[in-house]
Amino acid sequence: MSAGRVADASVNSKEMQVDKRTIIIDTDPGLDDAIAQILTSYERHDIEKFGLEGGPLHDPCAIGYLLDPSLFLGRQVNVMVEAESELTLGETVVDWNGVTGRATNALWIDEIDVERFYAFLTETVARLP
């Protein structure tokens, strides 16, 4: 079985709120609107529920990782999903310090190079027809 990759939700939120940055997009005006809707789709919910200044970029981060994994950092850990306890059934359990003795089976991504990510996003979107 190949190792999985898990992105900590904080990676999508860490300095990633859309309204803190301006992405310069030189495309068709209709496309600008569509891109803006995509980039702000989570924003309203997260501002209201979590008190954030802007929303995370879940989908762009996932695609960013697929196109350029060097934008993200993490470490190899063992990850299991609790399947026996009634109290914590379905909980993701991460062995941060190797105390279980289990082999690592996932790359836990918990950092992003924000400046490079936004530069990459801006360059990529600018290439759209």
Catalytic residue among 27, 58, 80, 120: 58
Measured between alpha carbons, how far is residue 71 from residues 19, 53, 65 in Å? 21, 23, 7
For 95-114, give the DSSP string.
ETT-TT-PPP-EEEEEEE-H
Is the separation of the CB atoms in 61 and 20 below 8 Å? no
Could you confirm whether 45 is annotated as catalytic?
no
E strands in the chain = 4-7, 72-81, 92-95, 106-112
Active site amino acids: 58
